[in-house]
Amino acid sequence: MNSKYFRLLTAVFASLFIFCGCGIQNAHDADNGQNKSDASAIMNSGTNDAGKTLTIVASFYPVYIFTLNIARDIPGVNVIDMTKPMTGCLHDYSITPEDMKNLEKARIFVVNGAGMESFMDRVINQMPHLKIVDSSKGIQLIKGEGDEGDNPHLWVSISNAIAQVRNIGEQLSGYDPENAAKYKKNTDEYVRKLEAERDKMHKALDGIKNRDIITFHEAFPYFAREFNLNIVGVIEREPGSEPSAKELEDTIGRVKALKVKALFAEPQYPAKAAETIAKETGARVYTLDPAVTGPMEADAYVSIMDNNLKTLQEALK
C-alpha cells in the first residue's frame, strides 16, 4: 500500500470516527498534504515575564488562522488548533478526549461562536476556569434554512473575518493585558491585509453582470452578501448527505431556467452531485473554498480568498 492511499484511508477512517458533517476528506486534500495531523501546534519561542507559557487553543481552522496572526511573534504565547486541520466545520462535532486534553493545557479558548461549537456547554461545565473568546460578538447573523439556528459560517465573508479578528484581539488583550499592545499591533497589521484583499475582490467583482451562483451546503451566504452574488441554489443543505433524486431534478430545472453557468463545489466534498447537474445542464463545476481546511500558515486565509477571486473571475466572466 503506497503512502498516498494510506493517508487517504487514514483520512476516511478519521472522518468516520470523528464524525463531522463538513469535513469529509477526499484524495484532493491528501494530495495537497493538508492533513499533516501533527502540524497543529505552532510554538513561539521563549516565555513571558513570569517565565510561563500562555497557551491559547482555537476551536477549528479559520479561528486558528486568525489567532495565529494576532498572537504572532509574542514570546511565551502558544496557539494550538484543538481539531486537526482536516476536520472542517464543527457541525455535530463530538468533542474527543484528545480535544479535552488540548483544552486542559489552555488558559484561553477562542471559538467561532454563533452556534458552530455545539459542544460548548460541556466545555464550560468541565472547565469553568477556561476563558472563552467569542469571535462572533456583535456580528449580524443570517438565519439558517428551516428549523436551523443562525448560519455560523461567518468567516467566509472577509468583512466578518475582520470583525472576528478585532474581537479576538480585544478579548485576548483583556485576558492577557501584559501583551495587549502586541495583540493590538498584530491585529491592526492583519486587518490591513484583510482589507486589502477585500478591496481587491470588490474591484474585480463589482462590475460583473452574471451574479447567479449555485453552491454546496450553507457555507456561502455571508460571502455572497459581501460581494452581492445571488445564491440561486444549494446542492446539499445537509453537509455530507447526497441530494435526493427530486432535489437534484429541482436544481437541474433551476439551473436551466436561470441559465446558470457555474456550479461551485467545495474542496472538502466530493463533487459528484455537482458533476451530475453539470452533465445535464452544460454548466461548469468550479471549486470555491470556504476556508474550513488548509495549510497551518498565517497567510492561508488570505491565499484561499485570493484563489476564490480567481475562480469567480474565471467562472462568471
Residues that bind Zn ion (CB under 5 A): 22, 89
Q: Which three cell numbers stand for residue 146?
A: 428551516
Nearer to Zn ion, 14 or 20 (CB): 20
CB of 236 to Zn ion, least distance (A): 11
Nearer to Zn ion, 102 or 293 (CB): 293
Between CA 149 and CA 204 the distance in angstroms is 33
CB of 1 to Zn ion, least distance (A): 31
Nearer to Zn ion, 76 or 239 (CB): 239
CB of 54 to Zn ion, least distance (A): 30
Between CA 221 and CA 109 the distance in angstroms is 26
Nearer to Zn ion, 143 or 259 (CB): 143
Between CA 90 and CA 256 the distance in angstroms is 34
Backbone angles phi, psi at 53, to 5 degrees: -100, 130
Nearer to Zn ion, 24 or 89 (CB): 89
The SS3 of residue 152 is coil
Backbone dihedral region for residue 133 (phi beyond 0: left; psi -120 to 50: alpha; all else: beta)? beta
Between CA 221 and CA 184 the distance in angstroms is 30
Q: Which residue is nearest to Zn ion (CB)?
A: 89
Strand order of the β-sheet with 131-134 is 41-42, 77-81, 54-58, 108-111, 131-134
Nearer to Zn ion, 163 or 234 (CB): 234
Nearer to Zn ion, 144 or 295 (CB): 144
Strand order of the β-sheet with 212-215 is 230-234, 212-215, 262-265, 284-287
CB of 147 to Zn ion, least distance (A): 17
Return the amino acid letter for 162: I
CB of 115 to Zn ion, least distance (A): 11
CB of 116 to Zn ion, least distance (A): 8
**Which residues, 6 or more positions from 265, have their beta carbon under 8 angstroms from its beta carbon?**
216, 235, 271, 274, 285, 286, 287, 288
CB of 57 to Zn ion, least distance (A): 20
- Side-chain-side CA neighbours of 231 within 13 Å: the count stands at 21
